[in-house]
Chain A
Amino acid sequence: DTAVSQTPKYLVTQMGNDKSIKCEQNLGHDTMYWYKQDSKKFLKIMFSYNNKELIINETVPNRFSPKSPDKAHLNLHINSLELGDSAVYFCASSQAGRRQPQHFGDGTRLSIL
């Protein structure tokens, strides 16, 4: 009965490859987010979707492309992976328009060799 689930939990790959991370939430929320947490533990927002529509798009290289097939899913595709992409990527969800907290998944640790 996990609320926000991400797959895979770990991803080890070589520079230049393309990879995807999937996220699903069963909380009935209408807004989903992707965050990047670097080695210094800073969590920074990357994208947000509300009802499948892109709402927040921070300064992120266009090698990163989010896709939301429906409001319960938000996937992150990364092209041409670089060493600096190594981080933990967190998915989160919330109910927009109300003062409700965001709920986070367990994260995907991406390591680029």
Chain B
Amino acid sequence: EDKVVQSPLSLVVHEGDTVTLNCSYEVTNFRSLLWYKQEKKAPTFLFMLTSSGIEKKSGRLSSILDKKELFSILNITATQTGDSAIYLCAVEPSYEGAQKLVFGQGTRLTINP
């Protein structure tokens, strides 16, 4: 069965700190890995990773994938209170037809001022 495990489940840091969120997976026929940020409502898309070793970057956020070791990390530097959210990792197995995402349980990140 396809599975995604995120760690830590919860993280509390001070504004300005750097955090690393982890995502490990087991999936049949990997196609892609995605990171989402969920504040109060809709998960919003951050990154899609398909190739090992290529860092995706957006401002203070960056992510990288290791397809050999089956994990990804999401880094946030110089954290701000607005980064407080649940960060969701999902993998997409190869699947005929629609994109079927398997989500992890999320990491709840709290940034204290």
Contacts and interface: CB of A to CB of B under 8 A. Distances in A.
B90 to A, nearest CB: 8
A90 B44 CA distance: 12
Given A101-B45, A104-B42, A56 B106 contact: no
Contact of B105 (A42, A101, A106): A42
By secondary structure, the A interface counts as: strand
A48 B45 contact: no
B98 A48 contact: yes
Contacts of A107: 41-42
A103 B16 CA distance: 30
In which size bucket is the chain B interface? 20 to 34
B89 to A, nearest CB: 11
Nearest to A101: B45
Interface string B94-113: 01011111110110100000
Contact of A43 (B44, B88, B97, B108): B88
